[in-house]
Structure 1
Amino acid sequence: MRARRSGASAAILVPLLVLVLALALWRALTGGAAQPEQRSATGGAAEALAGLPVREAAPSAGYQRTRFGSSWVDVDDNGCRTRDDVLLRDLDDVRLAQDGCTVLSGTLQDPYSGEEIAFRRGEDTSAEVQIDHVVALAAAWRTGAQAFTEDERVRFANDPLELLAVDGSLNGAKGDDDASQWLPPEGECEYVARQVAVKSAWGLWVTPAEHGAMAGVLAGCPGQELPAS
């Protein structure tokens, strides 16, 4: 009986071994070995979007910017205001003031226009680079932030994941719009993925129109992963 079982096992194992070797050779020749990684990356933002609740926007009644605290609070206790933290993170060739915090100048590779912007701190020049709340605060208010505590809203408004240094004029054009109302001229894949990441992290929902716009963008963005702060 042992002889018959060994023979049967060999009869099964040999074709399996041939199949495994053939599959390995096919993947090496066609790049098939990379496909599982590509599928995983592609699913990042789209899968996170699929997990967000979809419901109509809440009324805007009661929204005020001050509900999210004063601008650029030092929530991480590093001694620097959030605006300067983001400028230091997002700009190249940064020059700091003697306080070690205030960003005096730098170069921004603008994620919304693809243009290079020379930043120089000053009354007439600082606004050329602004810090965008990727999920606009009023839009966040309409999709769940009303239920935040005061402390949560302050932390939300100063969360590095929620903030990007961008072209000031484009930030002004965006205003309080969501993705169904405004998308940047460049980098819309990264923009929508970051919005999804923020909403996922903070338990916000998306409106039906917003969901449709986001899904439409991400459908054309293979490999779009969720960003980190």
Structure 2
Amino acid sequence: MRIATALVLAVSLTAASCSVADLGGAPAHPSSPAPPSVGPAKLLTRLRVEPRTQPVDYDRDAFGSAWADTDGNGCNQRDDVLLRDAVPGSTTVAQQDGCDHDVLAGTWVDPYTGRTLTFDDLKDLSQAQAIQIDHVVPLAEAWASGADAWTGDERRTYANDLSELLAVDGPTNASKGDDDPAAWRPRKDFQCEYAKRWIRTKYRYDLAVDPSEVKALQEMLGYC
């Protein structure tokens, strides 16, 4: 299994100016990262194809507490992602509990819908719920396709992998839930990038795909 027991991702404040398509992150298992010369369609053929066994006894607690500070920069992963994915220059941040970029307000463009999201007080629960941090490959999906056999450290690494996280519209994230690409897709303009991210994540973490998932990913790659 290509899983590393530790992942260190440095988050720079200048990364907030990156577009969604630029986000990558270091491989979770440096011993066998995706070869740079291999395109997503070819990489898809290298994934293990297995039928999905239902029901899946998914355990969210096995991935550890939400948004740990795994990179040691003093801020949890939620604040790191909010800062990184915000429209450049739009955020208001504060120093709090050792974090120098606790995000209080800002503007984001939801990659899943293209909708602009602007908030003036993310300490307000309703506003905080309206912008959420999504695992591109949901934790339940990872669990069902191989993470159930990982160690606790490996699951914690996955749950806090910045390259696997996006700041998105809350209601849209709720509609996505734990679905794979066979059951849920973002807007057409983001389907190519979404499929590439899904495939890279599954490859890096040696997660299986099922036949309907493969078909949906191939269709989305058609928009590239």
State the TM-score, normalized to the length of structure 1. Answer: 0.75
Deviation at 1:185, TM superposition (A): 2.3
Give the aligned residue type for 2:93. Answer: L
Give the aligned residue type for 1:48. Answer: L
- Confirm or deny: 8 A CA contact 2:192 2:222 kept in the other structure: no
The within-5 A match list for 1:130-149 is 130-149=132-151
| Counterpart Cα distance in 2 of 1:124 and 1:220 | 35
| Counterpart Cα distance in 2 of 1:58 and 1:76 | 34
SS at match of 2:180: coil
In structure 1, what is the equivalent of residue 223 of structure 2? Answer: 220
The within-5 A match list for 1:4-43 is none
Match of 1:74 among 69, 85, 89: 69
SS at match of 1:57: coil
Deviation at 1:117, TM superposition (A): 0.7
Task: Say whether residues 1:45 and 2:47 are aligned partners.
Answer: no
In structure 2, what is the equivalent of residue 191 of structure 1? Answer: 194
Match of 2:84 among 80, 89, 113: 89
Give the aligned residue type for 2:207. Answer: L
| Counterpart Cα distance in 1 of 2:111 and 2:151 | 31
Select between 161-170 and 98-107 the one with higher mean Cα deviation: 98-107
Give the aligned residue type for 2:155. Answer: R
Q: Once superposed, which parts of structure 1, at least 4 consecutive aligned residues long, lie more than 4 Å away?
A: none
| Counterpart Cα distance in 2 of 1:59 and 1:145 | 15
The within-5 A match list for 1:173-184 is 173-184=175-186
Q: Which has more radius of gyration?
A: 1
SS at match of 1:98: strand
| Counterpart Cα distance in 2 of 1:69 and 1:167 | 24
In structure 2, what is the equivalent of residue 113 of structure 1? Answer: 113
In structure 2, what is the equivalent of residue 159 of structure 1? Answer: 161
Select between 50-59 and 73-82 the one with higher mean Cα deviation: 50-59
SS at match of 1:191: helix
Deviation at 1:78, TM superposition (A): 1.0
Over residues 36-67 of structure 1, what are the superposed CA-to-partner deviations in whole Å (9 max), with x where a residue is unaligned? xxxxx996211111111111124454312111
Aligned sequence identity (%): 45
In structure 2, what is the equivalent of residue 54 of structure 1? Answer: 49
Deviation at 1:107, TM superposition (A): 0.8
| Counterpart Cα distance in 1 of 2:54 and 2:143 | 9
| Counterpart Cα distance in 1 of 2:172 and 2:223 | 23
In structure 2, what is the equivalent of residue 101 of structure 1? Answer: 101
Question: How many residue pairs were aligned?
Answer: 181
| Counterpart Cα distance in 2 of 1:90 and 1:157 | 18
Task: Say whether residues 1:64 and 2:80 are aligned partners.
Answer: no
In structure 1, what is the equivalent of residue 13 of structure 2? Answer: none
Match of 1:129 among 119, 131, 144: 131
Cα 1:208/1:167, change in 2 over 3 Å: same
Cα 1:143/1:44, change in 2 over 3 Å: same
SS at match of 1:182: coil
Give the aligned residue type for 1:68. Answer: F
Cα 1:173/1:90, change in 2 over 3 Å: same
RMSD of equivalent CA atoms: 1.6
- Larger proportion of helix: 1
